[in-house]
Amino acid sequence: MTRREAERVAALMEDVARPGDELPPVGETDAVAAFDAWLRAAPPAGRLVFRALLRLPARGPLATLREPLVRLAAHCYYGDDEVMRRLGYDPDAVVARATAVRLAEGRP
């Protein structure tokens, strides 16, 4: 992503997630990097579409076209490990429990 696109993504995430006292600001998460990784992994046509959606205004008649972008931005923000922990979900604990079950059952 370009610097400008990263700024737009961060602003979108702030608007969507509205982090406050309980949740960290977007800049303290890996959310923008996660969005960038997703964008880089997307097929070329998908990258073009999402980059175009970033340029659409957040308000007005075209705003509804941004819904996929809004959902992806929320997914990237709420997928940050620290955000998940603050919301009561500990991904490391889930992996540890699953590993213990697999070992107890004799599975790799």
- pLDDT for residue 63: 84
Given a cut of 90, is residue 108 above it in pLDDT? no
**Considering only CA atoms, which of 30, 32, 28 is closest in space to residue 10?**
32
Whole-model pTM?
A: 0.82
Task: State how far the alpha carbon of 105 is from the alpha carbons of 42, 93, 95, in Å.
Answer: 37, 18, 15
Give the domain ranges of the chain.
3-104
What is the C-alpha separation between 89 and 62, in angstroms, rounded? 35
Given a cut of 90, is residue 12 above it in pLDDT? yes
The whole-angstrom distance between residue 17's C-alpha and the CA centroid of its chain comes to 10
Query: pLDDT for 82-101, tens place per residue?
Result: 999 999 999 899 999 999 99
Sign of the four-CA dihedral 71, 74, 75, 76: positive
- pLDDT for residue 59: 86
- pLDDT for residue 29: 96
**Considering only CA atoms, which of 23, 12, 19 is closest in space to residue 50?**
12
**Considering only CA atoms, which of 67, 69, 3, 7 is closest in space to residue 38?**
69
- For the chain, the farthest-separated pair of C-alpha atoms sits apart, in whole angstroms, at 57
Query: pLDDT for 20-79, tens place per residue?
Result: 888 999 999 999 999 999 999 999 999 999 999 999 888 888 888 999 999 999 999 999
